[in-house]
Chains A and B, each alone.
Chain A
Amino acid sequence: GAGVSQSPSNKVTEKGKDVELRCDPISGHTALYWYRQSLGQGLEFLIYFQGNSAPDKSGLPSDRFSAERTGGSVSTLTIQRTQQEDSAVYLCASSLVGGGSDTQYFGPGTRLTVL
């Protein structure tokens, strides 16, 4: 079956512009995560959605970052007024029910470059 998909695969933008990154999780997965990975670094948690519950936004680095998950499926991560330090690979993952023992399936990521 289809895995997690993300679009676009690459995004180049100018400082100050807004960007939207999309994630399509595996069908039936109730949990969805967004992470950020800078070059050669580990993954940085951004936000977590579980079903219809309020998302865990504790990892969002600033109020320029926001995310939505519509209908318990597709999610969009929005970065407003992008800065050069926002350049990174943004990874989305989904899992069946959430939790450490539940396998997270990652998408291929969106490489964001802010000039």
Chain B
Amino acid sequence: GQSLEQPSEVTAVEGAIVQINCTYQTSGFYGLSWYQQHDGGAPTFLSYNALDGLEETGRFSSFLSRSDSYGYLLLQELQMKDSASYFCAVNPPGGQNFVFGPGTRLSVLP
């Protein structure tokens, strides 16, 4: 099966850089996804890593290392609107039963 771990909360100030880690124990998966969810809102897709390495999309980057069973989401030039919960997720080989992490609540302070 799969299980993912994330820190429950992270706090940072505007303009800073923050890294949200996702470690996992899984027998295998296709790739690692990241989603953002504002309070009361629906999750929105941020990024997907099928291969090891860094994927960059604007201020957000995501990293995957299968050998270390580890990934992270990097948010640069933090803005107040980045305050939200961030979830990592994997989908197993041959399946679409995505497993989501418990989420990390990011608070950006002025």
Whether A associates with B in a native complex is yes
* A62 CB within 8 Å of chain B: no
**How many residue pairs bridge A and B at CB < 8 Å?**
62
Chain A contact residues (Cβ within 8 angstroms of B): what range?
Answer: 20 to 34
Q: Is the C-beta of A27 less than 8 angstroms from some C-beta in chain B?
A: no
List, in ascending order, chain B residues with CB within 8 A of A104's CB: 43, 45
Q: How far is the CA of A43 from the CA of B87 in the complex (A)?
A: 9
B96 touches A42 (CB 8 A): no
Could you say which residues of chain A place their CB within 8 Å of the CB of B70?
A: none
CA distance A41 to B45 in the complex (A): 17
Once bound together, how far apart are the Cα atoms of A105 and B35, in whole Å?
11
Q: Are B91 and A100 in contact (CB under 8 A)?
A: yes
CA of A41 to CA of B37, assembled, Å: 12
Q: Given A43-B43, A56-B95, do A101 and B87 touch, yes or no (CB 8 Å)?
A: no
The residue in chain A whose Cβ has the minimal distance to the Cβ of B98 is A45
Nearest chain B CB to A69 CB, angstrom units? 14
A42-B101 CB under 8 A given contacts A56-B95, A100-B50, A100-B91: yes
Residues of B bordering A, CB below 8 Å = 29-33, 41-45, 48, 50, 87, 89-91, 95-103
